[in-house]
Structure 1
Amino acid sequence: MKSIIILFIFIISLYSQDIDADLLKKAKAFEKNNNYKEAMQIYKQIALKQYPKQEDFSIKKEEKVSNIEPNKFEKIKKRFYRKHIKRTGDKQTANTLEQMIISDFGLYPYKTNYLLPVTYDTKQREGRDQYETKFQFSIEKPLFYNVFGLNETISFGYTQTSYWQTSEDSAPFRETNYEPEVFVTIPYGNKQSSLKAYKISLLHQSNGQDKEDSRSWNRIYLESYFQYTNLFFVPRIWYRIPESKNSDDNKDIEKYLGYGDITLIYPYKKHTFELKLRNNLRLNEDNKGSAEFNWSFPLPSFLSYANTFGYLQVFTGYGDSLIDYDKHMNKIGIGIAFSR
């Protein structure tokens, strides 16, 4: 006990400028009379005065408006998972859910990153082969955190989806869609509430072509995230930013793609099932819509790599790509996904 008290005295002496002299005098008196327990309590009291509310300081430091470093963004997502997401009793499903929410892949995937070496269009179309390769690359770069005091994250996102005619002799890229966006994600509620977060985004989408093949439009959208046990319900609505008639190269795109979509996501053990539905809500012969189903699943052990999954995609309807926004398609593809 005496050696511990000596250690306390040494530490306190290093920071003795603001120590209460009366408390220190009282502690030394207890120690002199061999009342070590009482002396230790006073030394603890002095030490606590020297380091007040260390935990509060760390929280305040974390909540400051700052540029986000990659390791900090991972901590933000982990904290969001712990605080807002209700876990399931199944261990494998819980691990898949945590991986999906935290996106712990060594970089920050945004939408699903995948490669479908083979996709098949059920209809023969002029100037293209029915078989082609499709791949998507999507990343998120967090920029700022808690600027408005809402624990929000401001990010830049970029998604690129390419359609590659690998079955033709020269293997040309038939179409590539580019989607840069800036968005704010705001967490909401707690584990018990159904609404988990919402997002506001400014999104540009174009295909990089010119003249009659050029397609582009700009939107502002609002997206919400709801959780019901293992099911995630993600509705999204958008407003198209108007363009001049001279520069608008797809004037009727809303007739085919409408004003929003709904995504349902269901993680189960090592699988994720995703269904995206879109409709223009016109209750007549002009009704248009689409459905896209995505299934990620574990690969056989001899093909399995870290953060790599089998991936099946089935699409029917309008808007598979910008160049085909006004064409009805039925397509199926199989390949691998590098994120969820």
Structure 2
Amino acid sequence: MLFVLCGFCAHGQILVTGGSDPLDADSVKRDFSNQPYFGLYKDNYFIFGPSVGSRPTRDNTNIKFQVSISQRLTRSTLPWGTYLYLFYTQKCFWNILENSMPMTDLNFNPGIGITKPLFVKNRYIGKVTFLVEHESNGRDSTESRSWNRVALAANVMVTKNLMVHGKIWVPIVDGMHNKDIVDYCGFWQAGFQVLSDNKRFMGGVTIAKRKGWNLNANVTVDFAYRIFKQDNQYLYLQFYNGYGEGLLEYNRFHSQIRVGLLIRPKLFSDY
């Protein structure tokens, strides 16, 4: 019996064929080396919506979009079964209701990392990535924002319907005007993603703990519905509540709901 799984494993689009188990370790290891070098990394989306908890205005109703890609840099497997990747994510906030429709905040997030696929009892269950990343907004003077992170991230499929993910980092803040960014963005994040049996529905929660011992956190809740069974395009709803949604106003509280279009990897995304 032939199985075909088109997924996003270790930051690339991979085809696993043959065998009785589409996540068989030997098949996955073989296809990690054969997969295309270029692929998606995090969720790619284009969404629009207003502020929550205050009257919607032209100032607080905007478009948020994200483009995220990866490039495998090595042809063969590195020691300990790892793979070297270059990552790039760009996030933008676009106030289309204001005069001249300004893009008010543009965040650039390149990185490089080593990914290791995880196997348990000869089954592929996820991956661990050690990466170094930079994030800045390209502004100058008092609107300049910049920081770096040395991070360890993991995605693990607990069952076919549940994936959990986590990321912990050591911040290196080099921006002169955002020295306190860790107070608002913290040192770690964690979350989960739930998929329906037919893979048409997806929902998830991501929590980024802010600095301090109290129960303060930045929370993202999202839901998606796959438009066509064989495509990776979804109708998408995202709710964000907290600080640090964008770099320019990282220290300003935002509660925002937006809807739009999502393009994501087949298996799971990175966070």
**Which TM-score band (shorter chain)?**
0.7 to 0.9
1:289 corresponding residue in structure 2: 217
Which of 192, 204, 209 aligns to 1:274? It is 204
* 8 Å Cα contact 2:226-2:232 kept in structure 1: no
* 8 Å Cα contact 1:256-1:288 kept in structure 2: no
Superposed CA offset, 1:1-33 (max 9, x none)? xxxxxxxxxxxxxxxxxxxxxxxxxxxxxxxxx
**Equivalent residue runs for 1:219-238 within 5 Å:** 219-229=149-159, 230-238=161-169
* 8 Å Cα contact 1:278-1:289 kept in structure 2: yes
**Equivalent residue runs for 1:1-340 within 5 Å:** 74-75=13-14, 78=16, 82-84=23-25, 108-116=39-47, 118-122=48-52, 129-191=59-121, 196-229=126-159, 230-241=161-172, 243=174, 247-268=175-196, 269=198, 270-280=200-210, 282-284=212-214, 288-299=216-227, 306-340=231-265
Q: 1:306 to 1:214 in 2, by over 3 A?
A: same
Which has the larger strand fraction?
Answer: 2
Greater relative contact order (CA < 8 Å, ≥ 6 in sequence): 2
Q: 1:107 to 1:272 in 2, by over 3 A?
A: farther
Superposed CA offset, 1:137-170 (max 9, x none)? 1111111155532221211111111111101121
1:70 corresponding residue in structure 2: none
Aligned residues: 240
Question: 1:196 deviation in Å?
Answer: 3.2
* 8 Å Cα contact 1:145-1:151 kept in structure 2: no
2:8 corresponding residue in structure 1: none
Higher Rg of the two aligned structures:
1
2:6 corresponding residue in structure 1: none
CA distance in 1, matches of 2:78, 2:262: 35
Which letter does structure 1 place at the counterpart of 2:105?
Answer: E
Q: 1:202 to 1:136 in 2, by over 3 A?
A: same
* 8 Å Cα contact 2:37-2:71 kept in structure 1: no
CA distance in 2, matches of 1:84, 1:332: 40
Superposed CA offset, 1:171-214 (max 9, x none)? 01010111001111101223577963210011100111111111
Identity, % of aligned positions: 25
CA distance in 2, matches of 1:173, 1:224: 32
- Structure 2 stretches of 5 or more lacking a match? 1-11, 27-31, 266-271
* 8 Å Cα contact 1:124-1:130 kept in structure 2: no
CA distance in 1, matches of 2:218, 2:194: 19
Q: TM-score, normalised to structure 2's length?
A: 0.78
CA distance in 1, matches of 2:36, 2:76: 24
CA distance in 1, matches of 2:241, 2:97: 22
* 8 Å Cα contact 2:118-2:124 kept in structure 1: no
Which has the larger helix fraction?
Answer: 1
Tell me, what secondary structure is at the counterpart of 1:150? helix
